[in-house]
Amino acid sequence: MKNKIRELRERQGLTQEELGRKVGVSRQAILAIESEKFEPSIWLAHDIAAVFGCAIEEVFLFAESERKSRAEKSRRTAG
């Protein structure tokens, strides 16, 4: 899922490791989320957004999510 984590993290001067520590995950997990290789749970997404003082929708761009668009296409063809 598209996200603004890197932009927000760098704006606050945080490393991936520091952000990971704040939300209870590894640096590698933050890297995977930033690079769109892993989608966080709603709870982790909430915690990440809270670190930046943003709403989840400001950090994670659901409208641009490839997974969401695939799901919408399958619903249209299934009906």
* Domain definitions of the chain by residue range: 5-78
**Interval 15-44: pLDDT, tens:** 999 999 999 999 999 999 999 999 999 999
**Interval 37-55: pLDDT, tens:** 999 999 999 999 999 999 9
Rounded to 10 degrees, what is the CA torsion of 50, 3, 69, 63? 60
DSSP, residue by residue, 24-49: T--HHHHHHHHTTS-PPPHHHHHHHH
Give Cα separations from 77 to 62, 67, 70 (angstroms). 21, 16, 11
The maximal CA–CA distance of the chain, rounded, in angstroms, is 48
Q: What is the pTM of this model?
A: 0.79
Nearest in space to 51 (alpha carbons), one of 36, 37, 33: 33
What topology does CATH give the domain 5-78? 434 Repressor (Amino-terminal Domain) (1.10.260)
